Chain A
Amino acid sequence: MKLPVIALRNIWRNKRRTILTMSAITLATLIIVFMFSLIEGMKYDMKNTVVKFTTGHIRIRNIEYDRKELLNPLQYNINDYEKVIEVLDGIEDVDMFSPRIQFGGRFGMLIGENRVYEKELDARGVGVDFKTEDQFQDLEKYLKTGGRLPQEGKNEIIVTIGLAHDLKVKDKDGEERPAKVGDPFDLFIAQTMAGAGFNNRSVRIAGIVEFPIATVNRNLFLMPIKDAGSLLRMNMAESKQAIEILIILKDPDDIAAPAALITKALNDADITSVLYNPDNLPEKDYQGLVVASWHDASAWYAWLQMAEITYNFIGLFFIILGTTVIMNTTMMTVYERMKEIGTIAAMGMTGKQIVLLFFLEAFFMSFIAALLGVGIGSGLVTAIGQLDMSQFWENLDMDITSIITFRLNIRSVLFTFLYSIGVASAVTFIPSRKAAKIEPVEALRSV
Chain B
Amino acid sequence: MKKIFLYTVIWAVLLPCMLWAQITPEQIIKKAEYNQVHDTMKSTGKMIITSQFGTQEKTFEAVAEGEDNMLLTFTNIEERGQKILRLKDEIYLYFPDAEGLLRLQGGALKESVMGSSFSYEDLTGEKGLLDLYTVSFIETAPVQIEISGTSYSCYHVKLKGKRSVAYPEQELWIDSNLFVIRKAVYKSLSGRVLKELVVERIQTIGGKYIPVQFNMIDKLKKNSQTRFIIENLRINVALRPDEFSLERLSF
Contact = CB atoms under 8 A, between A and B. Distances in A.
Interface of A: 75, 108, 111, 114-117, 155, 184, 186, 188, 190, 194-202, 233
B51 interface: yes
13 contacts: A115-B99, A116-B92, A116-B101, A188-B102, A194-B51, A194-B115, A195-B53, A195-B115, A196-B56, A197-B113, A197-B114, A198-B111, A200-B98
A191 to B, nearest CB: 10
A196 B101 contact: no
Contacts of A194: 51, 53-54, 115
A116 B246 CA distance: 10
Interface centre among B92, B95, B112 (most CB of A within 10 A): B95
A199 B115 contact: no
B242 interface: no
B97 A155 contact: yes
B100 A111 contact: yes
B132 interface: no
Interface in B30-60: 51, 53-54, 56
A233 B114 CA distance: 11
Contacts of A188: 98, 102
B112 A202 contact: no
Contact of A195 (B51, B97, B98): B51
B127 interface: no
Given A195-B51, A196-B114, A201 B97 contact: yes
Interface in B113-130: 113-115
B93 A200 contact: yes
Given A188-B102, A196-B78, 17 more contacts: A111-B99, A114-B101, A114-B246, A115-B246, A117-B100, A184-B99, A186-B98, A188-B98, A197-B112, A198-B102, A200-B93, A200-B97, A200-B100, A200-B102, A201-B98, A202-B97, A233-B78
A56 B113 CA distance: 37
Contacts of A155: 97
A201 B95 contact: yes
B103 interface: yes
B53 to A, nearest CB: 4
B97 A75 contact: no
Contacts of B113: 197
B99 A116 contact: no
B103 A116 contact: yes
A165 B164 CA distance: 43
Given A195-B115, A196-B115, A115 B97 contact: no
6 A-B pairs closest in CB distance: A197-B114, A195-B115, A194-B53, A200-B95, A201-B97, A200-B98
Contacts of B101: 114-116
Contact of B115 (A115, A186, A197, A202): A197
B93 A198 contact: yes
Contact of A75 (B53, B98, B112, B247): B53
B221 to A, nearest CB: 10
Interface string B228-251: 000000000000000000110100
A72 to B, nearest CB: 14
A48 to B, nearest CB: 36
A197 B72 CA distance: 15
A235 to B, nearest CB: 9
Contacts of A108: 98, 100, 102
